[in-house]
Homo-oligomer: A and B are copies of this chain.
Amino acid sequence: MNNFQFYNPTRILFGEGQIASVADNIPQGSRVLFAYGGGSIHKNGVYDQVRKSLEQFEFFEFSGIEVNPSFVTLMEATSLVQRENIDFILAVGGGSVVDGAKFIAAASVYEGDAWNIMTKPNQVKQALPLGCVLTLPATGSESNGNSVVTRYETHEKLGFFSPLVFPRFAVLDPTTTLTLPQRQVSNGVVDAFVHVIEQYLTYPVNAPIQDGFSESLLKTLISEGPKALANPNDITVRSNIMWSATLALNGLISSGVPQDWATHMIGHELTALHGVDHAVSLAIILPPLLQEMTEEKHAKLLQYATNVWNIDSGDDASKIALAIEKTRDFFELMQIKTRLSDYQIGKHDIPEILGQLEKHNMMQLGERGQVTLDRTQKILLNAL
């Protein structure tokens, strides 16, 4: 395996009833920003539970953090934090709210134009502490230092990383996910699945622990994802999905192994240009990308076929083809259509997508920089 650093200080508070422990994990006397998105937390009771757990604190609500959180919205929250001398951010919601809270935590104590945090390297020298109550398992943002923010007026969707914005704690209460709409369940499972794939389906570096962990997460998502759609009230299923999504992107399975992320980079342009959900963009791109990169990913694709899909007959090429087919079938079983044409995106749209990738300097993607624009074009053609 390769050299690595692994650091993840987020305290995970997992299980039913854990929202009550929020109070024990925020420093006494804190002035708290209670940040959330839309109205879903009012419907599922989370809002009331959080308010109760914040009783002993002075807190300020900020709602309206949108999916793909917007810079403008987050700067409003930042102003509130500065005006009210808030010193702890509590994010309640899915990955977008947590991402947004990380930006607020950094921007509130940043001197200068806060958009620099997204555009220039290593801008975050300090940040307010934050914690989160997760209600949508998908992005892994609850226990990592990553955040993605969108500036809609300029069509820019950019990310930053800082160890200073790891949530201090993350409440993962799977009962909060029972009322999620099917679309969000599907997206969450597929998002987590592709996160694992991006860190697993590269080339072998003799790292059986990381491979085994990734395979466990993939098999769990394959097994539990469809159950969550069929039996929405099964809390055990929800628990396993929630823990999978966190472990899929907390830095553990990527430690010491190569990473790909080409599917994400191409998918981001689909979302930016055509508004398809993030997970949908991944479900569209991944199967043709794996096809295109079969030679480069040969060894790991075979391992994936055997260990994840239990394919043990046929020659190597047919095993790999079947594994890719099963991957697509899994996304479809999760009720996500996997063709560009399903979303009214056609051949004539491809040049613009490639243009955006070029503009964003995404011409050498993947674990070895081999996903060039030419190959991305083939991938997109095969995604039609």
A residues near B (Cβ < 8 Å) are: 1-18, 206-209, 211-213, 215-217, 219-220, 223-224, 236, 239-240, 243-244, 247, 252, 255-256
Q: How far is the CA of A240 from the CA of B18 in the complex (A)?
A: 35
- Closest chain B residue, CB of each to CB of A216: B212
- Closest chain B residue, CB of each to CB of A21: B5
Tell me the smallest distance from the CB of A172 to a CB of chain B, in Å.
10
Q: Which residues of B contact A215 (CB under 8 A)?
A: 212, 216
Tell me the smallest distance from the CB of A352 to a CB of chain B, in Å.
40
Q: How far is the CA of A18 from the CA of B247 in the complex (A)?
A: 25
Q: Which residues of B contact A8 (CB under 8 A)?
A: 8-9
Q: Which residues of B contact A15 (CB under 8 A)?
A: 2-4, 256
Contact present for B1 and A5 (CB under 8 Å):
no
Contact present for B208 and A212 (CB under 8 Å):
no
Q: Which of A10, A239, A244, A247 has the most CB of B within 10 A?
A: A239
Contact present for B219 and A216 (CB under 8 Å):
no
Q: How far is the CA of A220 from the CA of B5 in the complex (A)?
A: 21
Contact present for B209 and A240 (CB under 8 Å):
yes
Tell me the smallest distance from the CB of A231 to a CB of chain B, in Å.
13
Q: Which residues of B contact A18 (CB under 8 A)?
A: 3
Q: How far is the CA of A7 from the CA of B8 in the complex (A)?
A: 9
Contact present for A208 and B236 (CB under 8 Å):
no
B5, B11, B208: which contacts A7 (Cβ < 8 A)? B11
Tell me the smallest distance from the CB of A166 to a CB of chain B, in Å.
10
Tell me the smallest distance from the CB of A243 to a CB of chain B, in Å.
6
Q: How far is the CA of A211 from the CA of B216 in the complex (A)?
A: 8
Tell me the smallest distance from the CB of A235 to a CB of chain B, in Å.
10
B3, B10, B212: which contacts A219 (Cβ < 8 A)? B212
**Contacts A5-B14, A209-B247 given; 11 further ones with Cβ under 8 A?**
A4-B15, A5-B12, A6-B14, A9-B9, A14-B255, A208-B223, A208-B224, A208-B240, A209-B243, A211-B216, A215-B216
